[in-house]
Amino acid sequence: MSSTGNLNDKFDTSFVYLFKYIIIGDMAVGKSCLLMQFIDKRFRSKHDVTIGVEFGARIIRIQNVALKLSIWDTAGQESFRSITRSYYRSSAAAIIVYDITKRNSFENVVKWLDDARENGNKQITFLLVGNKNDLEQERQVSFEEAKQFAQDNEIGFMETSAKTNYNVDQMFTKLAEIILFKIQKGIIDPKNESFGVRVGSEYQKYLASISNDSKQDEKEKNQKVDPQLEGKYVQLNDPAVETTKQKNKTCC
């Protein structure tokens, strides 16, 4: 196992919440490059096969809440599948990556999704990612087809390029917004690590800093879609989030 990113970030506990992510998908679709771009802002043109699992961490802020993302980048190679499975359970989010220039990697998404649904916790949030969208002339999977698949399976979807850094930060932050939303709605208990979340040293300070009124503001802000993502992202139709929205509509 190897790791990437700033060493201080990995041991830093000054965050409100920690969210665990897992990145899955076929070999060579660009999982490690997406993580490297997010953590280190660099691109590697060589395919350096991941053996087992690699790790990266970064602290981000969403609506002024410090969130630490702890990301497990797994091997696409079939022989590592049983190791990968052991990481699903304690993940808050699963990012399923395919390569838009390799139809086969898209066809295998269904297997990855089944695997994660079978082995993950019941509140895991999914995002389907079509990577390498800089290679438009080699495209084998249309945006529309993948979007339809994501809608049919009630998961989020976006296209990215680890090479040009297109949508890379957005894919990680969008998931963090949704997990934060689930915490604020009481769908996920942040103190229950089986959901792939944990509280950090800033948690008590954060709770003390928000009055009931400002808590409500935070919730409302959290429901807004990042304007930068409009047109590039299919809104997550997460059944748990949808159910609470429905309840709120009828209750007040």
Ligand X SMILES: Nc1nc2c(ncn2[C@@H]2O[C@H](COP(=O)(O)OP(=O)(O)OP(=O)(O)O)[C@@H](O)[C@H]2O)c(=O)[nH]1
Question: Which segment (127-135, 174-182, 189-197, 216-224) binds ligand X by CB under 6 A?
Answer: 127-135
Query: Which of 185, 170, 163, 161 has the alpha carbon at shortest distance from 234?
Result: 170
45 interacts with ligand X by CB under 6 A: yes
CB 160 within 8 A of CB 133: yes
In the chain, the amino acid numbered 177 is E
Question: Which segment (6-14, 105-113, 157-165, 197-205) binds ligand X by CB under 6 A?
Answer: 157-165
Nearer to Mg ion, 55 or 206 (CB): 55
Number of residues that bind Mg ion (CB under 5 A): 3
Q: For residue 88, give Cα distances in angstroms to 72, 213, 218, 241, 250.
A: 10, 36, 29, 20, 34
Task: Among 4, 32, 125, 222, indicate the residue that binds Mg ion (CB under 5 A).
Answer: 32
* Cα distance between residue 69 and residue 215, in whole Å: 22
Binders of ligand X in range 160-199 (CB under 6 A): 161-163
SS3 content of the chain, % helix, strand, coil (to 5): 45, 25, 35
Nearer to ligand X, 62 or 100 (CB): 100
In the chain, the amino acid numbered 195 is F
Number of residues that bind ligand X (CB under 6 A): 24
Say if residue 26 is exposed, middle or buried (CB neighbours under 10 Å; 0-12, 13-18, 19+). Answer: buried
Question: Which segment (48-56, 110-118, 200-208, 230-238) binds ligand X by CB under 6 A?
Answer: 48-56
Query: Which of 215, 181, 161, 211 has the alpha carbon at shortest distance from 62?
Result: 181
Q: Which two tokens stand for residue 230?
A: 């409009």
Nearer to ligand X, 168 or 180 (CB): 168
Question: Which segment (74-82, 195-203, 221-229, 230-238) binds ligand X by CB under 6 A?
Answer: 74-82
x/- mask, ligand X, residues 75-114, rule CB under 6 A, reads xxx-------------------------------------
The footprint of ligand X (CB under 6 A) covers 27-33, 44-50, 75-77, 131-132, 134-135, 161-163
